Amino acid sequence: MNESTKWLYELLFKTHFLEAKGQAFQDLFVAIMSKAHPGDFMPCRPWGASGDCKNDGYLKSERLLFQVYAPYELKSAQTITKIREDFTEALPHWKDHFDTWVFVHNATTGLPPQVLATLLDLERHHPPITVKHWGFEELVLRFRQLSPDALRSLYGSAPQEGTTRPMRDTLTIIIPVFNEAQKIALLIEGLRGKGLTDRYQVMICDDASTDNSLALLQDYSRDIPGITCLHNQVNTCKIGAIERMVRNVRTPFVLTLDADSMISELQDEALEQLLCKMNEERCAAAYFRIIPHDRDWFGRLQKLDYTIFTDTLRRILRVPVCMVGQGVVWRTDSFVEVLSAHSKQYDGDDLENTLIALTKDMRVYWERDTLVVTTIPKESILSLVRQRALSWDFGLFRVLLSKRALMLGGESGAFYKNVLLVDFVAHPLRLAAIPLLLSAVFFHFLGIGIVGREGMLLYARSLDISLKYGAYAIFGILVLSFASSVICVRARPISVLKWAGFSTVCLFSPFVFFMYYRLVAATKVRAEDVFGAADPWFGLGLVLTYFWWTLVAFVLLCLSSLGRSTKRSLLLSVLIAPLYYFVLLAVCKSTGICKLLKVRVLG
């Protein structure tokens, strides 16, 4: 039996484990143990008034006595009562026959501390009996002992090599929807066109849309048996819809998509191979490159932006950056654990999921080559600014200022602290350079006489603040960034150099922080002296700054996974990129910071 077939059988067992409750779970346990230990394991069924004498199975060779408990919802108080009763009542009947008492349960994320304490207390008060508990990990070890004939008797014959494997019981695709009526048809068409509805289960939750999204969902999916539609009566800000769907999932893996995104396989059965890899390497999540469609210049600009942040930076920095919910494959039990620790706030929800997974030491995997997520870009600058400023940047700062983010170490901890220092702490100081740069141009065209005394004083004060504090403050932030990186990566030289270079590129512009400040410091001119005489070197500085960030964008594009023809099509976007990022810096980051301060101060 090859590894793929074994993996498929194990996924079927995990699905069975997650779904079975009560007597069905006990039947599953008995079936596995009977086939793993034929002639040795002795099942026990209730008989007459005495019942089963608190014996759900006995393994003679290892002197193990089992008690199975699989409620629909495991609660500490009821579980402790059950354990004490079953153990105490088993002693008079079986004490001479067992050395180890095993509590078998269906909890997927571990037992509550009170239950574990109860098991330890029983062992301490009843020597020499050993008390253990078995969950999925212990049962799957016994499952792996089954012969091919035993596996076939449980789940039927496996598909032959070269045929498409039935993966419907291994992965569920979940998609939250809110006021997406214009995208429903494309969504269903994309799911069918990619063959996803034939191979996997699909669950779509309408999160109390105010348009006709729900009606369209029900209409388009009526003849597709693989799609399940849910509806929330009250809007739960996306994360609630996701949590509801995950609670209803009965497959070991789940793929999150948005209504405007789609998973694309770059080679046959890439998704199946990824699931196999995640199962073998115990990965909690896998994430992908995101590539927006590029129907016009604005779409190509966003394509360049996504390529830099979901491809090149991940490759260079070797950190997840953010597992964007537009396309992430999760182990279902891991995702349930992550969501249980989530704040349930919408802004920054994907980054919060990423941080929770990292702080819980979950293994995450970046699939760069065989799978990508495509998405529909924003159609206008206003919609892009609204998304980035009010949701992404505000959510970024909200999450990065949390205790969870500040306490995270390692490469990801260094990355998030550097981002916080660069985009939050240093941001007002970088903004102070804007009036510094624009003042010369402003006064050149309007003249000092037209601006008036008040305008002159305003510009003079802005310029004085920039000259006095800007360069030194930025340098101080760089030193702080370097120190935090050293702590996070435990002074590993290569990692320290990597994060020092990252912060330097993000913080410094060759004109503003090298040429301009040094020139002013050397000549000791006042702000008023700069206005009339600095046009030539201001203009040169602006050109140098533009070419610096154009060069950075070009290098990052060249290092991406895109094909040569696609890279050539984005060269014009590289030329516009400095202006694009200037808008994101000046408008979106500033708005995000202001919104955060408003929420923190005013509530």
Task: List, for residues 220-265, the tens digit of each pLDDT value.
Answer: 988 888 899 999 999 998 999 999 999 999 888 999 999 999 999 9
The residue to which tokens 């220092």 are assigned: 421
Residue-wise over 113-137: b if at least 16 C-beta within 10 A, else e?
A: eebeebbeebbeeeeebebebbbbe
Structure token digits, residue 533? 């005489």
Q: Is the peptide bond before 320 cis (omega within 30 degrees of 0)?
A: no
Give the separation between CA 551 and CA 539, rounded to whole angstroms.
18
Domain with CATH 3.90.550.10 in the chain: 171-379
Backbone angles phi, psi at 58, to 5 degrees: -140, 125
Distances (CA, A) of 362 to 282, 334, 349: 9, 8, 17
The set of long-range contacts for 504-508, using a CB threshold of 8 Å and a minimum separation of 24, is 504/478, 505/552, 506/418, 506/422, 507/422, 507/426, 507/430, 507/474, 507/477, 507/478, 507/481, 508/474, 508/478
CA dihedral 572, 578, 582, 583 (to 10 degrees): 0
**pLDDT value at position 532?**
46
Alpha-carbon distance of 458 to 466, in angstroms, equals 13
- The owner of tokens 């260079």 is 316
pLDDT at residue number 163: 43
Can you give the pLDDT at residue 516?
Answer: 53
Q: Which sign, positive or negative, has the C-alpha torsion 351, 357, 361, 367?
A: negative
pLDDT at 264: 93
Residues of the chain with pLDDT under 70: 1, 3-4, 49-50, 157-167, 430-471, 509-542, 603
Q: Find all residues with CB under 8 Å of 231, minimum gap 6, and list them.
A: 205, 206, 208, 214
The CATH number given to 171-379 is: 3.90.550.10
- Ranges for all domains in the chain classified under CATH 3.40.91: 3-155
Q: How far apart are CA 281 and CA 514, in angstroms?
A: 48
* Torsion, CA 345, CA 351, CA 352, CA 358, rounded to 10: 170
Per CATH, the number for 3-155 is 3.40.91
Report the C-alpha gap between 52 and 64 in whole angstroms.
16
Give the amino acid at 398. Answer: R
Give which of 259, 276, 216 is closest to 4, Cα–Cα: 276
Length of the chain: 603
Tell me the pLDDT tens digit for each residue of 78-124. 999 999 999 999 999 999 999 999 999 998 778 999 999 999 999 99
- Distance between CA atoms of 358 and 419, rounded to whole angstroms? 17
